[in-house]
Chain A
Amino acid sequence: MTIVYDDPEGQTTDFPVRRIRFTVNGEKKIAEVEPRLLLAHLIRRGLGLTGTHMGCDTTNCGACTVLVDGRPVKSCTMLAVQADGHEISTVEGLATASELHPLQEGFREEHGLQCGFCTPGMMMAAKALLEENPDPSEEDVRWALSGNLCRCTGYQNIVKSVLWAAAKLRAESGEA
């Protein structure tokens, strides 16, 4: 994997690079990264997984939320070198080749998006919530998503989408 770094002055002679090993959506990877590379940039530019969005770039909006070892993290506020030895999950890991994840179905069924920019972050934050609490209340969902901003929908349908997914996941695990 190659990452191209900007060199606007044309005078950079040397900079530190570190080799890291990590897992993304279950696949093992090795990358050589400059320490100042952000995890969000590694994911988007290095891995080409552009489902993770960069919104505010200032730790506010949560569009860049991914899971690190199962817990949601704002990937614009973590250095890529810090992923060394850890498991990253992005929105691309939700669906299988043949079917959508119940969260993705829920966002479709309940019209949980308009422009879609915040959606990947919403889904990853919701995924972590449902793994910790399979039967959340509306209040629990609003609490868990309070670090993710949406500028289109006013949240109502996003909350409904997550509750839809929770119900479907519970029904599936009941059948199993």
Chain B
Amino acid sequence: MYPSRFLYEAPRSLDEAISLLRDGGDYAKVLAGGQSLVPLMKLRFASPQLVVDINNVPGLSYHRAEPDGTLRIGALCRHADLERSGLLKTTQPTMAAAAPLIADPIVRNRGTLVGSLCHADPQGDWASVVLALGGSVVARGPRGTRTIPLAGFVTGPFQNVLDPDEIAVEAVIPAAQGARSGGYLKLERRVGDFATVGVAVALETGSGTVTRAGIALTGVGGSTIGATEAAEALTGQPLTAETIEQAAELAAQAARPRTDHRGSAEYKRHMVRTFVLRLLSRGQAAETAERAA
């Protein structure tokens, strides 16, 4: 399959990329990992007139923690970089759990986290993870730089708030105030399939109570779902069988699954509940172990 004809530019700086987008007419697309854009172009669901390939822009492959603990992930940081990251293993349990579950190992060599956020697929795993962690996207355009919380970044299936001449240059995960725990669980029919159900849980705890909670759901609605009521029910509470049960129930209620070839709506809602229970119970076990130590 061939994409429709398009003009291709491979700028060597962000400024150059932004001016190409600004002059590129109505339908220019940024190409980073290309693992969603190229298939869409081949199927002609997307037919951009101009493709601006940012792979030759230096200095975008990073993921690094600042001294205060804020994590920054550049637009060309590949899923495989995050999967192999020692930094994530020691400081970001939710992200470290999700990285090996993105697509398949070969796709992970090219696909990027920031690109996945921009693609805004309701079945995209990273959007749930970043939403649960309270993260943001930093966008740069001709009018300057702005930081957009993920909750307001994705506006619907495959839609985000970027202007046509803006580029998402990095994702930002705020520093934790307490001890981090959490994880990501994904039900998929086989490696590389879209998530039937995915659940991201990101907790911060201190002195036996949850100081911040984020829960987000993949693949069970028209866009990534933030289970805010479930998260609020945990905040300020200790992790007990009762609070865990309540949060799992609220998260299941927040899901908006549809019956399809991957499973019935009822089954998917049940799996949301099960995954939240599992992830929070792990958090409870870690918390108990920490207090015992």
Report B93-125 CB contacts with A as 1/0, cut-off 8 Å.
000000000011111011000000000000000
B285, CB-defined interface residue at 8 Å: no
Query: Which of chain B's residues 176-209 have a Cβ closer than 8 Å to chain A?
Result: 191-192
Label chain B's interface by main secondary structure: loop
Contact check, A146 vs B38: say whether CB atoms are below 8 A apart. Answer: no
Say which size band chain B's interface belongs to: 20 to 34
Contact with A along B22-51 (1 / 0, CB 8 A): 000000000100110011011100000001
Complex formed: what's the CA distance from A53 to B204 in Å?
Answer: 48
A interface residues, tally (CB under 8 Å): 32
Residues of A70-108 contacting chain B, CB below 8 A: 71-74, 76-79, 81-82, 84
Q: State how many angstroms separate the Cβ of A122 from the closest Cβ of chain B.
A: 11
Contacts of B2 in A (CB 8 A): 6, 36-38
Q: Is the CB of B55 within 8 A of A82?
A: yes
| Bound CA–CA A73/B191 (angstroms) | 16
- Nearest-CB distance from B1 to chain A (Å)? 5
Tell me how far the C-beta of B152 lies from the nearest C-beta in chain A, rounded to whole angstroms: 30
Given contacts A82-B55, A144-B105, 16 further A-B contacts (CB under 8 A): A36-B3, A59-B35, A59-B107, A60-B192, A62-B104, A71-B80, A77-B34, A77-B35, A77-B38, A78-B34, A78-B110, A82-B10, A84-B10, A125-B105, A125-B106, A147-B107
19 cross-chain CB contacts under 8 A: A34-B5, A35-B6, A36-B4, A37-B2, A38-B2, A38-B38, A58-B39, A58-B43, A62-B104, A62-B106, A72-B106, A79-B38, A79-B53, A81-B8, A125-B105, A146-B104, A147-B103, A147-B191, A148-B106
